């Protein structure tokens, strides 16, 4: 099976712009979670989608949003970018039921100038 794919891998934006990141989960997986990794805060949970519904949300401002499509692909959007949004954004996929393991994609490195 193909792994989790994320596009783009690298992105440079300026403050105030908005950005959309994409994640394609492992085939058959219905849950997609998003995480932000920064040197100061480590790996932090953003939100999780299961069957097109947001099941859980982390402690991030409303500028961070996401959605999931019927084929389980997910997008994450960040509006009005701030310098502090520079981070590695990771997507993880899992079957979404029981004690299922999350498998991560390679991430999107976002730099905000």
Partner 1 sequence: DQQVKQNSPSLSVQEGRISILNCDYTNSMFDYFLWYKKYPAEGPTFLISISSIKDKNEDGRFTVFLNKSAKHLSLHIVPSQPGDSAVYFCAAVRLDSSYKLIFGSGTRLLVRP
Member of 56, 71, 80, 111 binding partner 1 (CB under 8 A) = 56
What residues have CB less than 8 Å from 99, skipping those under 6 apart?
Answer: none
Using the minimum distance from each CB to partner 1, give the nearer residue, 19 or 50.
50
What mask of x and - would describe binding to partner 1 in positions 59 to 78, judged by CB under 8 A? --------------------
Q: Taking the CA of residue 100 as centre, how many other CA atoms within 13 Å lie in the half-sphere pointing to its CB? A: 18
CA–CA dist 98, 6 (Å, integer): 25
Helix (H, G, I), strand (E, B) or coil at 85: helix
Please report, as ranges, the residues that interact with partner 1 according to CB under 8 A: 4, 6, 31, 33, 35, 42-45, 48, 50, 55-56, 58, 88, 90, 92, 94, 96, 98-107, 109
């Amino acid at each position: 099976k193909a792994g989790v794919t994320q596009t783009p891998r690298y992105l440079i934006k300026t403050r105030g712009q908005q950005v959309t990141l994409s994640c394609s989960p492992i085939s058959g997986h219905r849950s997609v979670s998003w995480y932000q990794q920064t040197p100061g805060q480590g790996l932090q949970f953003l939100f999780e989608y299961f069957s097109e519904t947001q099941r859980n949300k982390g402690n991030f401002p409303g500028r961070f949003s996401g959605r999931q499509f019927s084929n389980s692909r997910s997008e994450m959007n960040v509006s009005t970018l701030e310098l502090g949004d520079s981070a590695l954004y990771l997507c993880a996929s899992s079957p979404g039921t029981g004690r299922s393991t999350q498998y991560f994609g390679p991430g999107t490195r976002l730099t905000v100038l």
